[in-house]
Structure 1
Amino acid sequence: MSEGHARELQRQQALVQALLQPGGEPALAAWLSERGDRLARGLSAYRANAGASAERALASSFPTVLALMGEEAFAALARAYWRAHPPSRGDLAWLGEQLPDFMRNSPQLDGEPYLPDSARLDWLLACAEGAADVEPDPASLGLLAEHEPQQLRLMLMPSVHLLCSDFPVLAIWQAHHRDGPDAFAPVRAAMAAGEGSLALVWREGWRATAMALEPAAWRFTEALLTGHDLAQALESGGADFDFGAWLAQALQRSWLLGAYPG
Structure 2
Amino acid sequence: MPPVQFSCGGCHRKLLTSDFLKCNICSKKYDIECASVPIQHFKNAMTRDEKSQWVCHECMSKLPKTNNANTPVRSIQNISTDNLAQSTQSDTTRENVTIRRPVPKAVSTPTSDGQILNKELLPIKTELQEFRASLDFFNNKYEEIKNDMSGLVKENYELSRDSLKLKSTVEELSYRLNNTEQYLRDNNLEFHGVPKHHNENLRSLLIQCASVIGLRPKDDDITNCVRVAKLNKDNKMARSITVKFRNVECVRI
Fold shared per TM-score above 0.5: no
Q: TM-score, normalised by structure 1?
A: 0.19
> Quick one: higher RCO (CA 8 Å, sep 6+), 1 or 2?
1
Higher relative helix content = 1
User: Which of the pair has more CA radius of gyration?
Assistant: 2
